[in-house]
Structure 1
Amino acid sequence: MLESARYLRDSTRMAVDPFSDVLTLSKAEAVVTGGFTAGGPWSIRFPAREKIKFFAVVKGSCWVHLEGAREPLLFETGDVGLLAKPRVAVLSSDPALEPVDAMSLFSNVGRNAVAVVGDGGDFGYIGGHVMLDPIRGKLLADILPPWILTRAASPHAAAFRWLLDRLIEERTSGRPGSQLASSQLTQLLFIEILRSHLGTARPMPAGWLRALAEPRIAPALRLMHGDPARSWHLEELAKACAMSRTSFAFHFRTVAGVAPLTYLATWRMHLAERSLRDERTAVATVARSLGYTSESAFSNAFKRANGKSPSAYRASVSGLDKTVPEQTNNAAPASETAF
């Protein structure tokens, strides 16, 4: 009992999580837009969309041929994909078949509905997209690879199976709270897709995403994200990572693509942009909260990074909607209900 109480007490002080910081700052919200079942021979062409798409095969298998790819990929039950860049995608039972345009095929299917193609008995699929803040969402969108594929046989398979089973159950049960439960499960599914990519053995290019996945510099990232206003010194950050100053600086730049203190300055600018857009806090207060000794020092740094003074930036974004267009209640395009 004492151990349980101690765990509950300690668990309230959660460690700083830089990856969660990036997701929160980007206002990343995953939503399922629909799906379809299919049977017999079928082939569907989905248009390219300017948004992050994800999908999962929940029954049977299909071929997925992405625009620009040499060969189609076979997706089987439990396989999950995320398409971060606009590409035409053809899903089919046989890649040799001539595809039908999704817009015409799903024109009479309502939003969040499950369409039926052919006899609908062999194959099942759900899809959705990720909504991002129209400005800060670029922080996440720009660091994602064009395409992420997680196989059902991956180390994350158990989590995916559980999430997909629960998601289907919630979407079909009609129980009280099923809509909210589906939203939360979809968000977890998106996070698991990203985790599976971060944990991959495949090399990633230098940048934010690789930095967030690198355990050797994780202590330094947690320090900078936990207290961005502090005047961190390279020696402190290197010591936290149990590395020499030179080794730490070299490894950090190799992984992140920038020097440690440049990373910190960039993160401060992202936080400043959020404060200036979402809050009416005085510029001087924003400057102090991020560790700048004066409003003028902050203003100069902000203008170097954004090309505008803090006041001009605030004025330029004040009229923008706080959400992307997909978050409105407007009807989605017909093909959105399935892919």
Structure 2
Amino acid sequence: MAAPLSPSLPASTTWGDPITETLELTGARCALSRGLVAAGDWALAFPAPGRLKIQVVIHGVVWLVIEGIEHPVRLEAGDIAVFAGDRRYTLASDPAVPAIDALPVLRATTDTFFHVGDEGRDAVTIGGHIDLNTTGKDLLLSALPPMMHVGAATAEAPAACWLMDRTLHEMRSDAPGAAFAADHLAQLLFVQVLRVFLANANADTYPTGWLRALADERVAPALRLMHGDPARSWSLTELARATAMSRTSFAQRFKEVAGLPPLTYLCVWRMRLARHILRREDTPVAAIAASLGYGSESAFSNAFKRTTGVAPRRYREAARAN
């Protein structure tokens, strides 16, 4: 049922899976960077990283204190935390330990792992970040809660732990292709984090948006239908039937969790796909219009201009110039 949106898109792209689509549209790239080995009493205060942050614990216990989040988070071996990049945070052996500025400590060495506190190895943690393009900052950051904590005890955690272990191994290796392998393993780690969180989190903990709708068992079937065939002229009746709800109940529930009425969401999603194609491909505007269900190029162009403020060709020219 789901097919590539245009002949220029990779044939392997699995349109219809909202997570795959989002990772494709946002350019999400996860990179693990520096590791910390610590012992005794210690605490490091970090500035807001400005990017989506990921922290994994390899050994021991590390406390994570995030600005604006009331309770410190205890991370044990195998735990993963992903949190917004607009917040200062502290890593510590105990939340009560006074923190020192982490930047001078980081600048004092270029080693993959740096040491703080006493001699020894009470805790080992490794940090990284997730880069996003402009679409990603709008689409992914707005849909994620301020902090995601993936516990090692979850059923899906072994795969994440294996990926962490292999990423760490490649980061420390001088084998041919080690950097390439580490980069791609880190990408898989981020995918696994999203999978685990969707499988275990309460949908009510998400901000209003597409991710909360995907986590909501009642409306998710309709969301997947729209993503699976965005060119189809879906009716409210068809979408409501897929959720076993009345039109009124479905429309109300969808707006509560997604923040938009169902057919408005479909239009917005089409425009995101259109912007993606225009930035990356030379597909004619008429072909893009047809692939997204518009009866004519002018109808698509008018909808695109209403959404973005510029015509499709102007958008493509500006995107290529940057």
Give the TM-score of the pair, scaled to structure 2: 0.87
Query: What is the 5 A alignment of 1:262-277?
Result: 262-277=264-279
Distance 1:96 1:232, change over 3 A: closer
CA shift, 1:14, in A, is 6.9
Contact 1:299 1:309 in 2 (8 A): yes
Summarize deviations over 1:86-131 as a string: whole Å, max 9, x none.
11111122333332211111113327x1112242421101110011
Distance 1:67 1:114, change over 3 A: same
CA shift, 1:66, in A, is 1.4
Question: How far apart in 2 are the matches of 1:147 and 1:219?
Answer: 26
Letter paired with 2:195: R
Query: What is the 5 A alignment of 1:290-301?
Result: 290-301=292-303
Distance 1:36 1:310, change over 3 A: same
Distance 1:136 1:277, change over 3 A: farther
Query: What is the 5 A alignment of 1:37-186?
Result: 37-110=37-110, 113-118=112-117, 119-186=119-186
Question: How far apart in 2 are the matches of 1:50 and 1:291?
Answer: 37
CA shift, 1:185, in A, is 2.2
Summarize deviations over 1:128-184 as a string: whole Å, max 9, x none.
001112344421122111111122223333233322233233333444443333223
Contact 1:60 1:76 in 2 (8 A): yes
Q: Which residue of 2 aligns with 1:234?
A: 236
Letter paired with 2:192: E
Q: Which residue of 1 aligns with 2:214?
A: 212
Question: How far apart in 1 are the matches of 2:232 and 2:69?
Answer: 46
- The worse-fitting range, judged by mean Cα deviation, of 290-299 and 216-225 is 216-225
What secondary structure does 2:45 align onto?
strand
Contiguous gaps of at least 5 residues in structure 2:
1-11
CA shift, 1:202, in A, is 5.5
- The worse-fitting range, judged by mean Cα deviation, of 113-122 and 176-185 is 176-185
Distance 1:259 1:69, change over 3 A: closer
What secondary structure does 2:97 align onto?
coil
Distance 1:70 1:220, change over 3 A: closer
What secondary structure does 2:87 align onto?
coil
Distance 1:195 1:253, change over 3 A: same
Letter paired with 1:44: L
Summarize deviations over 1:178-198 as a string: whole Å, max 9, x none.
333322321222122222322
Letter paired with 1:237: L
Question: How far apart in 2 are the matches of 1:255 and 1:142?
Answer: 13
Q: Which residue of 1 aligns with 2:8?
A: none
Distance 1:33 1:281, change over 3 A: same
Q: Which residue of 2 aligns with 1:337?
A: none
Distance 1:207 1:135, change over 3 A: closer
Q: Is residue 37 of structure 2 the alignment partner of residue 26 of structure 1?
A: no
CA shift, 1:226, in A, is 2.2
Q: Which residue of 2 aligns with 1:306?
A: 308
Question: How far apart in 2 are the matches of 1:295 and 1:192?
Answer: 39
Q: Which residue of 2 aligns with 1:201?
A: 202
Letter paired with 2:34: G
Q: Which residue of 1 aligns with 2:250?
A: 248
- Which fold has the larger relative contact order, with Cα–Cα distance below 8 Å and residues 6 or more apart in sequence? 1
Contact 1:28 1:137 in 2 (8 A): no
Question: How far apart in 2 are the matches of 1:68 and 1:49?
Answer: 15
Give the TM-score of the pair, scaled to structure 1: 0.83
Give 1:260's match in structure 2, choosing from 259, 262, 268.
Answer: 262
Contact 1:287 1:294 in 2 (8 A): yes
Q: Which residue of 1 aligns with 2:320?
A: 318
Question: How far apart in 1 are the matches of 2:98 and 2:143?
Answer: 34
What secondary structure does 2:115 align onto?
strand
CA shift, 1:268, in A, is 0.5
Letter paired with 2:287: T
Question: How far apart in 2 are the matches of 1:173 and 1:13?
Answer: 32
> What is the root-mean-square deviation of aligned Cα atoms in Å?
2.3
Summarize deviations over 1:279-307 as a string: whole Å, max 9, x none.
22332222222111222211221121112
Aligned length: 308
Question: How far apart in 2 are the matches of 1:318 and 1:283?
Answer: 15
Percentage of identical aligned residues: 46
Contact 1:85 1:147 in 2 (8 A): no
Contact 1:27 1:137 in 2 (8 A): no
Question: How far apart in 2 are the matches of 1:267 and 1:202?
Answer: 21
